[in-house]
């Protein structure tokens, strides 16, 4: 089954694509991308498929998180380290408090393209094309910045390579060593109640590690962690140029990231994104919103994972706190009854966005938790496994989502709102979420 070429994909009328004004410049950027080495290896993607297979069987839990939209200026050592640090802290909370292996996947090193609900943005009477992520156009509200520029795809590659290089150094070079469990709990978070709770847990872990060392156990897993990259596979030029034939197996992989997902707005069964993704061998996800008919999900599973390989397909549901308890059961029931192998993951962010009176896009921490609780309750009542969470978060002290232990109010949003797209949980809120999810997991 050969990979369709780009014109064949475009003939399917893909949604959410940039409208580039200069076709020759697009060809040049794609030609350049095709010469670049892979960002990830096929064997690493296979390892992740195996791990997500354990999630699908109810033997592991997936933690997937990072920015809604990465930015080129955000590729700094501090920024990448802070994101990694909060994910490591969350993972250790989930692993320790719930005694479940945690599969760690960052929404990073490639998360640069955004689908939008509107093609246009209007500010104070001026209307311009919407910002579609640094992969496509600039965030500045000027006509020039908003013109899609294919050279940005080349920059996505370099930004992703730099990020991944740093992440690999952190996770293998000692920073992710479990004995650093205290060192991750620094600055503002350490002083917060949840930071104190983490500190107490870290003391327990340290004692357990000391004991294990005393009896001669010093497993490699203490020194390094497995960490994988992921992003939404949105811009076809980029994902196609990075789809390569693996020399070991002669099979195609999208080597732009370990795990790629199809968004809620681009999951049309006969659409170009499904067509490209069904050819690649990476572990993949599909976002499923509240209007998903169970038959659509079954058809997607049949098309994207015809051999029903565990770990190949993850359904990431994003219903919203108010709809999950009514909407999710039928979907899970029918998919399960059909014998479909899938990992179920909850995105408690995208169904809970609203505009604050000040104009900022925000989410309530309580809605996020309520959706995760609904997800756990539905799976518990059906006897299926709530396999993971997919969250938008940052390692910084931003003010983008309201609520949480710090009780951020709408009036606080302007203090430090830095997201260029959707509101993210800050580090304190992320850690709070991890403790709450760990409790739900323990009960599951």
Ligand X SMILES: O=C[C@H](O)[C@H](O)COP(=O)(O)O
Ligand Y SMILES: C=C(OP(=O)(O)O)C(=O)O
Pick out residues in 65-104 that bind ligand X (CB under 6 A). 68
**Tokens standing for residue 327:** 């909407």
Q: Distance between CA atoms of 326 and 375, rounded to whole angstroms?
A: 11
Pick out residues in 332-371 that bind ligand X (CB under 6 A). 350
Q: How far is the CB of 328 from Mn ion (least distance, A)?
A: 20
Please choose which of ligand Y, Mn ion, ligand X, none residue 70 contacts, taking the beta carbon within 5 to 8 angstroms, the exact cut-off set by kind.
none
Q: Distance between CA atoms of 82 and 395, rounded to whole angstroms?
A: 4
Q: How far is the CB of 273 from ligand X (least distance, A)?
A: 14
Q: 339 phi and psi, to 5 degrees? A: 75, 20
Site string for ligand Y, 15-54 (x = CB under 6 A): ----------------------------------------
Q: Which of 129, 148, 150, 263 binds ligand Y (CB under 6 A)?
A: 263
Residue nearer to ligand Y on the CB measure, 129 or 133 = 133
Pick out residues in 117-146 that bind ligand X (CB under 6 A). 117
**Tokens standing for residue 410:** 């709408």
Sequence-distant (≥ 6) Cβ neighbours of residue 323 within 8 angstroms: 290, 351
Please choose which of ligand Y, ligand X, Mn ion, none residue 116 contacts, taking the beta carbon within 5 to 8 angstroms, the exact cut-off set by kind.
ligand X
Site string for Mn ion, 60-79 (x = CB under 5 A): --------x-----------
Q: Which of 231, 318, 364, 379 binds ligand Y (CB under 6 A)?
A: 318
What one-character DSSP code corresponds to residue 11?
T
Strands 120-123 and 126-129: antiparallel
Q: Which of 53, 74, 115, 386 binds ligand Y (CB under 6 A)?
A: 115
Residue nearer to ligand Y on the CB measure, 65 or 252 = 65
Q: Are 171 and 225 in contact (CB under 8 A)?
A: yes
Site string for Mn ion, 390-429 (x = CB under 5 A): --------------------------------x-------
Please choose which of ligand Y, ligand X, Mn ion, none residue 117 contacts, taking the beta carbon within 5 to 8 angstroms, the exact cut-off set by kind.
ligand X
Other beta carbons within 10 angstroms of residue 416's beta carbon come to 12
Residue nearer to ligand X on the CB measure, 74 or 115 = 115
Q: How far is the CB of 320 from ligand X (least distance, A)?
A: 12
Q: Distance between CA atoms of 219 and 92, rounded to whole angstroms?
A: 16
When asked if residue 287 is in the footprint of ligand Y (CB under 6 A), the reply is: yes
Please choose which of ligand Y, Mn ion, ligand X, none residue 387 contacts, taking the beta carbon within 5 to 8 angstroms, the exact cut-off set by kind.
none
Pick out residues in 30-49 that bind ligand X (CB under 6 A). none
Pick the piece of the chain touching ligand X (CB under 6 A) from 6-14, 115-123, 134-142, 271-279.
115-123
**Residue 358 to residues 68, 93, 323, 355, 410: CA-CA distances in angstroms?**
21, 35, 26, 8, 8
Q: Exposed, middle or buried by CB within 10 Å (0-12, 13-18, 19+), for 327?
A: buried
**Residue whose token pair is 């955000």:** 74
Residue nearer to ligand X on the CB measure, 51 or 114 = 114
Pick the piece of the chain touching ligand X (CB under 6 A) from 109-117, 165-173, 302-310, 369-377.
109-117
Sequence-distant (≥ 6) Cβ neighbours of residue 143 within 8 angstroms: 128
Task: Using CB under 6 A, count the residues that bind ligand Y.
Answer: 9
Per the rule left: phi > 0, alpha: psi between -120 and 50, beta: everything else, 140 is beta
Question: Can you point out the beta strands (E) in 184-281?
Answer: 228-232, 243-245, 252-254, 259-262
Residue nearer to ligand Y on the CB measure, 195 or 387 = 387
Q: 22-29, long-range: CB within 8 Å, 24+ apart, which pairs?
A: 22/150, 25/149, 25/150, 25/151, 26/150, 26/237, 28/150, 29/150, 29/151, 29/153, 29/154, 29/237
Residue nearer to Mn ion on the CB measure, 93 or 109 = 109
Query: What burial letters (b/e) apply to 169-186, b meaning 16+ CB within 10 Å?
Result: ebbeeebbbbebbeebbe
Contact positions vs Mn ion (CB under 5 A): 68, 422
């Amino acid at each position: 089954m050969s990979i369709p070429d780009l014109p064949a994909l475009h003939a399917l009328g893909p949604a959410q694509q940039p409208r580039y004004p200069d076709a020759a410049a697009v060809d040049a950027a794609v030609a350049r991308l095709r010469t670049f080495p892979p960002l990830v290896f096929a064997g690493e993607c296979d390892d992740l498929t195996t791990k997500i297979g354990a999630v699908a069987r109810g033997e592991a839990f997936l933690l997937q998180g990072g920015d809604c939209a990465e930015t080129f200026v955000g590729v700094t050592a501090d920024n990448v380290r802070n994101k990694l640090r909060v994910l490591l802290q969350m993972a250790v909370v989930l692993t320790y408090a719930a005694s479940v292996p945690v599969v760690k996947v960052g929404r990073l090193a490639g998360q640069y393209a955004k689908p939008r609900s509107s093609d246009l943005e209007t500010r104070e009477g001026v209307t311009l094309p919407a910002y579609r992520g640094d992969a496509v156009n600039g965030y500045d509200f000027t006509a020039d910045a908003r013109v899609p520029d294919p050279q940005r795809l080349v920059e996505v590659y370099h930004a992703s390579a730099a990020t991944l290089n740093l992440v690999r150094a952190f996770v293998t070079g000692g920073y992710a060593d479990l004995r650093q469990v205290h060192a991750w709990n620094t600055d503002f978070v350490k002083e917060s109640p949840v930071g104190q709770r983490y500190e107490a847990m870290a003391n327990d872990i340290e004692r357990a590690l000391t004991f294990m060392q005393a009896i001669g156990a010093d497993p490699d897993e203490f020194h390094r962690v497995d960490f994988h990259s992921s992003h939404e596979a949105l811009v076809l030029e980029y994902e196609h140029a990075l789809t390569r034939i693996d020399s070991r197996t002669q099979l195609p992989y999208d080597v732009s990231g370990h795990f790629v997902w199809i968004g809620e707005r681009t999951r049309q069964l006969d659409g170009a994104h499904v067509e490209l993704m069904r050819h690649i061998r990476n572990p993949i996800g599909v976002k499923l919103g509240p209007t998903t008919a169970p038959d659509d999900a079954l058809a997607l599973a049949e098309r994207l994972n015809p051999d029903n390989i565990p770990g190949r397909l993850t359904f990431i549901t994003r219903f919203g706190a108010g709809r999950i308890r009514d909407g999710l059961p039928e979907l899970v029931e029918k998919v399960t009854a059909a014998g479909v192998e899938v990992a179920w993951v909850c995105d408690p962010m995208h169904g809970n966005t609203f505009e604050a009176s000040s104009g900022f896009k925000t989410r309530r921490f309580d809605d996020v938790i309520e959706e995760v609780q609904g997800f756990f309750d539905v799976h518990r009542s059906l006897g299926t496994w709530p396999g993971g969470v997919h969250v938008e978060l940052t390692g910084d002290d931003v003010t983008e989502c309201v609520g949480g232990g710090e009780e951020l109010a709408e009036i606080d949003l302007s203090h430090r709102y830095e997201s260029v797209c959707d509101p993210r949980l800050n580090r304190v809120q992320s850690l709070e979420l991890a403790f709450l999810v760990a409790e739900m997991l323990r009960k599951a």
